[in-house]
Amino acid sequence: MTTTALGDATVSELRETLRGTAIVPGDADYDAARAVWNGMHDKRPAIIVRCAGTADVINAVRFARSQGLTVAVRGGGHSIPGFSTVDDGIVIDLSPMKGVRVDPVARTARAEGGVTWHDFDHETQAFGLAVTGGLISTTGIAGFTLGGGLGHLARTHGLTCDNLIGADVVTADGNLEHASAEENPDLFWALRGGGGNFGIVTSFEYQLHPHGPMVYGGPIFYAGDKTEELLALYQDWSASRPREVNSLVALTTAPPLPFLPQDVHGKPIAIVAGCYGGPMEDGEQHYKALKEFGPPIADLLGPMPYVALQSLLDPLWGPGIANYFRSGFFSRLGPDVTATVRSFLDRRPAGVVSEFHVHHMGGAVDEVPAEVSAYSGRGAPYVWNILTRWANPADADENITWARDLGAALEPFSTGQSYVNFIGDAERVRSAYPPATYARLADVKRRYDPENVFHLNQNVVPAEDHA
Ligand SMILES: Cc1cc2nc3c(=O)[nH]c(=O)nc-3n(C[C@H](O)[C@H](O)[C@H](O)COP(=O)(O)OP(=O)(O)OC[C@H]3O[C@@H](n4cnc5c(N)ncnc54)[C@H](O)[C@@H]3O)c2cc1C
């Protein structure tokens, strides 16, 4: 029996306008349909529209507005602050929209808003092509691209949003706009880093690059007591790398994976992971210093299929567990930075895992002029990200406080900006943009969504209309 506040007749009318489905409380698939990746967010929408195509998205937006429903938009459902679900509102869920069309001659791909990196890489790797994508393949391309997009190929080919060449967008009034360098260039600028503020993107068009199917990449695992030495080496080594050399460091505890000896499971470890953006056979020479750093616990850095690298860590980042992330951009590394991080890692909160990542930036990311897109993290040599996961709700406060305190302790070494896609607290959105960029975003928002219909995101408040 349906318990929706919308009324059966209203829901039936909507269903007649859809090729996809509309799910309401009481339906057998309601609980599965309302679940999002971050288990911290357990919301009960009034209705979930699982869209089969752009027409469904348009009809869902018009329906939402006619009913005065709060709108949540879902692509891959991996929002850390839980923006892709809502209590008592409508979830416009694009996850059934999985089409990907690759043009191997032009080296472009057009992908629908529900595509994940697993789907995308599967299609593009058939042609040995790729774009910068996520480190966990279950993440959606939609939220990921709109916030910027950091991945293994960023130094070589730029952020994901730097490779966006066009987008179809359903705006707040239920119309469809195309955004590209030529059409609606202001909207196109905002979509590349401004998040989901400006409308619902039903398809993304990307420039692709030759990469794979076999690449030189993967992680090397070192014991946690090597952290200081490894980070010192990493600082010098990374600073002198060409743009083809992509890498990151993760300080964590050893997961129970079969290639890690049982006696290290649960103990602190330091991982350095790479992905060479040039020809596979040239990769090894560039990572030599990391390979020769010392006896590793395990060394998987070498030739491997790109799709294997992209999904290597998926089993550790499954859905349903509570998560909190906090991020920033380092202006530098150094022994004081390492000591600060180490002091927090030595008193991890209770929970599933608490870890710290450093992503090497620069290269192609910094070659894009700042004014070309709304993304605002260019010029910083490293991104840092604190990730903490817990299964017992009683551990939430301890985990969140630990991550916030570590974030605050890193401010002296940071640029003061945040990366929107890693922000765990919605109120930090202003820290993602310099004031002039935020003002320009607010102006674009005023033109495309003056009533802030799309506010469940890293929200940019529409500028006041002085016309
Ligand atoms: C396990 C994990 C790994 C991650 N790894 C990386 C990484 O390697 N690099 C990186 O840069 N980031 C990474 N992220 C962060 C990720 O980029 C963001 O969480 C991103 O928002 C996820 O997009 P989504 O479509 O899956 O999420 P959703 O929850 O569906 O959406 C996120 C936001 O985008 C909006 N949105 C979704 N679809 C659309 C659409 N079609 N049109 C308009 N707005 C839309 C939503 O309303 C919401 O505000 C990771 C996150 C997780 C949880």
Residue nearest to atom 19 of ligand 1 (CA): 79
Q: For 430-465, b where at least 16 C-beta lie within 10 A, e where not — what string?
A: ebbbeeebbebbbbbbbbbbeeebbbbbbbbebbee
- Residues 459, 409, 237, 380, CA torsion sign: positive
Is the distance from CB of 113 to CB of 167 less than 8 angstroms? no
State residue 267 phi and psi, 5-degree precision.
-90, 155
Q: What percent of the chain has pLDDT over 90?
A: 94
Of residues 42 and 465, more confidently modeled: 42
Is pLDDT above 90 for 424? Answer: no
Q: For 253-283, b where at least 16 C-beta lie within 10 A, e where not — what string?
A: bbbeeeebeeebeeebbbbbbbbbbbebeeb
Of residues 46 and 3, more confidently modeled: 46
* CA 83 to centroid of ligand 1, rounded, Å: 9
Q: Which atom number of ligand 1 is nearest to the Cα of residue 80? A: 19
Tally the residues of the chain.
Answer: 467
- What span, in angstroms and rounded, lies between the C-alpha atoms of 355 and 205? 34
- What span, in angstroms and rounded, lies between the C-alpha atoms of 269 and 387? 15
Look at residues 111, 110, 113, 77 and name the one whose alpha carbon lies nearest to residue 94.
113
Task: Look at 143-152, 389-398, 428-437 and tell me which has the smallest mean pLDDT.
Answer: 428-437
pLDDT confidence of 208, banded at 50, 70, 90?
very high
pLDDT confidence of 467, banded at 50, 70, 90?
very low
pLDDT confidence of 466, banded at 50, 70, 90?
low
Q: DSSP states of 30-72 as a string?
A: HHHHH--SSTT-----SEEEE-SSHHHHHHHHHHHHHHTPPEE
Residue nearest to atom 51 of ligand 1 (CA): 78
Q: What percent of the chain has pLDDT over 70?
A: 98
- What span, in angstroms and rounded, lies between the C-alpha atoms of 379 and 457? 25
SS3 per-residue string spanning 93-157: ECCCCCCEEEECCCCEEEEECCCEHHHHHHHHHCCCEECCCCCCCCCEHHHHHHHCCCCCCHHHH
Q: What is the pLDDT of residues 91-124, one digit of tens each?
A: 999 999 999 999 999 999 999 999 999 999 999 9
- What span, in angstroms and rounded, lies between the C-alpha atoms of 134 and 310? 7
Task: Look at 49-58, 100-109, 180-189, 409-418 and tell me which has the smallest mean pLDDT.
Answer: 409-418
Radius of gyration of the chain (CA): 22
Q: Alpha-carbon dihedral of residues 399, 405, 411, 417, nearest 10 degrees?
A: 40
State the DSSP code for 255.
Answer: -
In 208-351, where do the E strands start and end? Answer: 209-210, 214-223, 245-253, 268-276, 298-299, 302-305, 322-330
Is pLDDT above 80 for 354? Answer: yes
- For residue 457, the number of C-alpha atoms closer than 13 Å in the C-beta half-sphere is 29
* CA 106 to centroid of ligand 1, rounded, Å: 27
List Cβ neighbours of 307 (8 Å cut-off, separation of 6 or more). 121, 122, 125, 137, 212, 213
Does ligand 1 lie within 6 Å of residue 389's CB atom? no
For 431, the token pair is 């820290």
For 358, the token pair is 């450093």
Burial of 115 (0-12, 13-18, 19+ CB in 10 A): buried
Q: Which atom number of ligand 1 is nearest to the Cα of residue 73? A: 47
* CA 126 to centroid of ligand 1, rounded, Å: 25
pLDDT confidence of 5, banded at 50, 70, 90?
confident
SS3 per-residue string spanning 216-251: EEEEEEEEHHHHHHHHHHHHHHHHCCCCCEEEEEEE
* CA 195 to centroid of ligand 1, rounded, Å: 9
Is the distance from CB of 419 to CB of 432 less than 8 angstroms? yes
Q: What value, to the nearest 5°, has the Cα angle with vertex 62 and ends 188 and 100?
A: 50
Does ligand 1 lie within 6 Å of residue 326's CB atom? no
* CA 424 to centroid of ligand 1, rounded, Å: 12
* CA 1 to centroid of ligand 1, rounded, Å: 33
- What span, in angstroms and rounded, lies between the C-alpha atoms of 430 and 51? 32
| pLDDT of res. 1 | 39
Which among 36, 37, 49, 84 is the best mutation to test ligand 1's pocket, defined by most ligand atoms within 8 Å of the CB? 84
Look at residues 23, 188, 4 and name the one whose alpha carbon lies nearest to residue 93.
23
Q: Which atom number of ligand 1 is nearest to the Cα of residue 76? A: 26
Is pLDDT above 60 for 289? Answer: yes
| pLDDT of res. 426 | 67
Residue with tokens 């709304």: 374
Q: What is the pLDDT of residues 137-171, one digit of tens each?
A: 999 999 999 999 999 999 999 999 999 999 999 99
pLDDT confidence of 427, banded at 50, 70, 90?
low
Q: Which atom number of ligand 1 is nearest to the Cα of residue 140? A: 26
Is pLDDT above 50 for 3? Answer: no
pLDDT confidence of 430, banded at 50, 70, 90?
confident
Q: Which atom number of ligand 1 is nearest to the Cα of residue 144? A: 17
| pLDDT of res. 294 | 87
* CA 467 to centroid of ligand 1, rounded, Å: 34
Q: What is the pLDDT of residues 362-378, one digit of tens each?
A: 999 999 999 999 999 99
Residue with tokens 């951009």: 329
Does ligand 1 lie within 6 Å of residue 153's CB atom? no
Is pLDDT above 50 for 2? Answer: no
* CA 226 to centroid of ligand 1, rounded, Å: 33
Is the distance from CB of 194 to CB of 440 less than 8 angstroms? no
